[in-house]
C-alpha cells in the first residue's frame, strides 16, 4: 500500500448513494472480464446530480468522453457517502476509475465495509466538512502514516480520523488478503 497518495480532488455533496456511484443499469458487466470491468470505471459517478457534484458550472465530469479512468484519484464527500443499496460494485467502480481514497464526513456502513473488505479504496473520515473547503481539481496529498490531508493547491493541512481497527485490513489489500497474511485461510 502506498503511504503517500497524491492526486486531484473530486468534490461531492452529501448523501451520494450507490446508484449515483454506479447506476443499476450498468451492473450487467462481468467483473472477471478485463474489457467488461473497465466499463465500471467508465460509468462511475455518472448519475451524480450537478448540484451534488460541487461543480456550479457543470464542468469537470469524473470520467470524460470515452475514457475508462478518471484524472481524479481522491474523492471528497459529505455525510452519508455510499448510502442506498448494498452493492459492492460501488467502491469497485470508483477503484476501476482510478480513485484510491475517499474522504467523507461519514459513510453508509455497507459502503464503508465493502470498500475495506474488498480492498477497493481507503475510506477516511474527517471531522471537518472538507467538501466546503476543497475544490474539485485541487492537488491533494494523503499521508497514510500521519492521517493527514494536505491541499497542495491551497497550502492547507487537515487532520483525518485514524483508520483504527480497519487499518491492517486496508494495508493488506482487503479482508481475504488480511486473513491469508494472518494464517486464517
Question: What pLDDT shows up at residue 58?
Answer: 56
Domains and CATH numbers, the chain: 4-181 (3.20.19.10)
- The reported pLDDT for the residue numbered 78 is 96
* Cell numbers found for residue 98: 482510478
In contact, 41 and 69? CB cutoff 8 Å = yes
Under the banding of pLDDT at 50, 70 and 90, the label for residue 57 is low
What is the pLDDT at residue 56? 55
**54 band by pLDDT with thresholds 50, 70 and 90:** low
End-to-end CA distance of the chain: 21
Report whether pLDDT(124) > 90.
yes
Check residue 59 and give its pLDDT: 59
Residue 60, pLDDT > 80, answer no
- For the stretch 96-122, pLDDT in tens is 999 999 999 999 999 999 999 999 999
- Per-residue model confidence (pLDDT) at position 85: 86
Residue linked to cell 443499469: 25
Tell me which H or E stretch contains 125.
strand 122-125
Average pLDDT over residues 71-87: 94
Q: What does the mean pLDDT of the chain come to?
A: 94
Report the C-alpha gap between 105 and 13 in whole angstroms.
10
pTM above 0.85, yes or no: yes
Q: pLDDT by residue (tens digit) across 18-43?
A: 999 999 999 999 999 999 999 999 99
d(CA 175, CA 117): 5
For the residues 71-94, what does the mean pLDDT come to?
94
pLDDT at 143: 98
Adjacent-strand bridge partners of 74: 9, 101
Helix H or strand E encompassing 175: helix 175-181
Q: Give the residue from 27, 8, 143 showing the smallest Cα distance to 76.
A: 8
**Residue 86: which pLDDT band, with cuts at 50, 70 and 90?**
confident
CA neighbor of 1 nearest in space, from 184, 169, 185, 180: 169
- Which residues are within 8 A (CB) of 148 and not within 5 positions of it... i.e. 6 or more apart? 142, 157, 158, 159, 160
The pLDDT of residue 112 is 97
Give CA separation, 60 vs 12, 13, 31, 55, 70, in Å: 12, 15, 27, 7, 10
Give the torsion sign (CA, 72, 58, 55, 42): negative
Q: What local confidence, expressed as pLDDT, does residue 61 receive? A: 84
Mean pLDDT of 129-152: 97
Amino acid at each position: 500500500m502506498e503511504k503517500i497518495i497524491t492526486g486531484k480532488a473530486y468534490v461531492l455533496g452529501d448523501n451520494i448513494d450507490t446508484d449515483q456511484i454506479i447506476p443499476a443499469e450498468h451492473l450487467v458487466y462481468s467483473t472477471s472480464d478485463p474489457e467488461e470491468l473497465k466499463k465500471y470505471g467508465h460509468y462511475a459517478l455518472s448519475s451524480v446530480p450537478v448540484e451534488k457534484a460541487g461543480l456550479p458550472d457543470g464542468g469537470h465530469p469524473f470520467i470524460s468522453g470515452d475514457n475508462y479512468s478518471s484524472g481524479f484519484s481522491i474523492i471528497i464527500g459529505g455525510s452519508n457517502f455510499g448510502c442506498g443499496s448494498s452493492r459492492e460494485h460501488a467502491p469497485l467502480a470508483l477503484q476501476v476509475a482510478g480513485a484510491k481514497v475517499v474522504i467523507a464526513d461519514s459513510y453508509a456502513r455497507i459502503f464503508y465495509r465493502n470498500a475495506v473488505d474488498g480492498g477497493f479504496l481507503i475510506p477516511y473520515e474527517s471531522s471537518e466538512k472538507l467538501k466546503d473547503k476543497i475544490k474539485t481539481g485541487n492537488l491533494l496529498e494523503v499521508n497514510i502514516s500521519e492521517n493527514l490531508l494536505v491541499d497542495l493547491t491551497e497550502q492547507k493541512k487537515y487532520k483525518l480520523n485514524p483508520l483504527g481497527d480497519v487499518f491492517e485490513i486496508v494495508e493488506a489489500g482487503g479482508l481475504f488478503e488480511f486473513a491469508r497474511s494472518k494464517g486464517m485461510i
